[in-house]
Amino acid sequence: MGKSSLKETSFAMNMNSVHSRETVCVFGTGDFGRSLGNKMFQCGYSVVFGSRNPELSGLHPKGIEVLSYKEAAQRSDLIIIAIHREHYNFLIELAEELQGKILVDISNNLKINQYPESNAEYLAELVPGAKIVKAFNTISAWALQSGTLDASRQAFVCGDDKESKQRVMDIGRTIGLTPMDQGSLKAAKEIENYPLQLFPMWKFPLYLSAALCVFYFVYCLLREVIYPYIQEEKDNTFFLAISIPNRIFPGLALNLLALVYLPGIIAAILQLYRGTKYSRFPNWLDHWMLCRKQLGLVALAFAFLHVMYTLVIPIRHYVRWKWSSRIINQVTAERQSRVSECLMLGSLK
């Protein structure tokens, strides 16, 4: 190891020990406040909780203090507000204690765009003298408690004061998260909507495949059912159940597969055209690239359906063959019995 890297390591360790002595205050001893506070305590921070009933909130590891909100606020210049937005009002009374402090808003809402302004901006309005940072709202209390942060390490952070944001991001890194700077406090609304968006990357692939499915179905319906009926009065409606879907599915699977590869090619052409691979793609291409896995999975689902339908078709043919051979057998048996009857009658005469 070189001298410079040794220096860097010892610098990092010094920084760590600085963080480990830092006192962080957490307002609210609910699920999230408790989980985050305990996690920070495990990672070496000194943690003080603010609570309405400090004497009632037990079950904290030794070394963690639970005080009234006012007392706790005086113990640290960084306060994590682990309280629902609806109960923020009492913070107005603490404006003096919170003056110039970093307030970390971690709250979520129950609905997308539930309020006109984000919770973080609302907090900034209530406590104008504080520096507000939005962070950690996409991390669940359960993940913090159980340590299963693998799937959700990303912690989106935003705020107007760079230094405050940096301190919050340092805390995130120390407790094992991957902080992602999302810019100013204006980004808070978007960050607050993240946990409420169900399968955001699935919307486009599902809508697209539904639209393609309807398009192909109408096309096959016109070509194979309606047109023969008008021209020759042929009734092909039985195609609707198996034949037409089985023609649509492989086509759809191939089209979707093409859509998985196409954005990569467009992106490569764009990079060649721009002469650099370090500029941002247009939003539509970015979104399309991010949906490739989902598009591929939908394509796979259609290919699977095609396999299932293809397996069903021989069974259908077999049933038809079995019925017709039974009828033929019956007819020949009947004819033979008639012939033998006639022969009998002839011999009697």
Ligand X SMILES: NC(=O)C1=CN([C@@H]2O[C@H](COP(=O)(O)OP(=O)(O)OC[C@H]3O[C@@H](n4cnc5c(N)ncnc54)[C@H](OP(=O)(O)O)[C@@H]3O)[C@@H](O)[C@H]2O)C=CC1
Which residues of this protein are in contact with ligand X, per CB under 6 A? 28-33, 51-53, 57, 82-84, 87, 106-108, 137, 140-141
From the list ligand X, Fe ion, none, partner contacted by residue 24 (C-beta under 5 to 8 A by kind): none
From the list Fe ion, ligand X, none, partner contacted by residue 299 (C-beta under 5 to 8 A by kind): none
Residues belonging to the chain: 349
Q: Shortest distance, CB of residue 137 to ligand X, whole angstroms?
A: 5
What's the maximum distance between 2 C-alpha atoms anywhere in the chain?
128
Q: Shortest distance, CB of residue 122 to ligand X, whole angstroms?
A: 12
User: Judged by CB, which is closer to Fe ion: 30, or 250?
Assistant: 250
Partners of 156 in beta bridges? 180
From the list Fe ion, ligand X, none, partner contacted by residue 106 (C-beta under 5 to 8 A by kind): ligand X
The answer to whether the CB of 324 falls within 8 A of the CB of 241 is no
User: Judged by CB, which is closer to ligand X: 82, or 98?
Assistant: 82
Sheet holding 131-134, edge to edge: 65-68, 46-51, 23-27, 78-81, 102-105, 131-134, 154-159, 178-181
Q: Shortest distance, CB of residue 250 to Fe ion, whole angstroms?
A: 5
> Which residue in 87, 90, 188 sits closest to 133, CA to CA?
188
Which residue in the shown chain puts its C-beta closest to ligand X? Answer: 30
Q: Shortest distance, CB of residue 306 to Fe ion, whole angstroms?
A: 6
Per DSSP, the three-state class of 176 is coil
User: Judged by CB, which is closer to ligand X: 48, or 260?
Assistant: 48
Q: Where are the beta strands (DSSP E) in the chain?
A: 23-27, 46-51, 65-68, 78-81, 102-105, 131-134, 154-159, 178-181
Residue keyed to tokens 């962080």:
24
Q: Shortest distance, CB of residue 254 to Fe ion, whole angstroms?
A: 10
- Under the rule (CB under 5 A), what is the footprint of Fe ion? 250
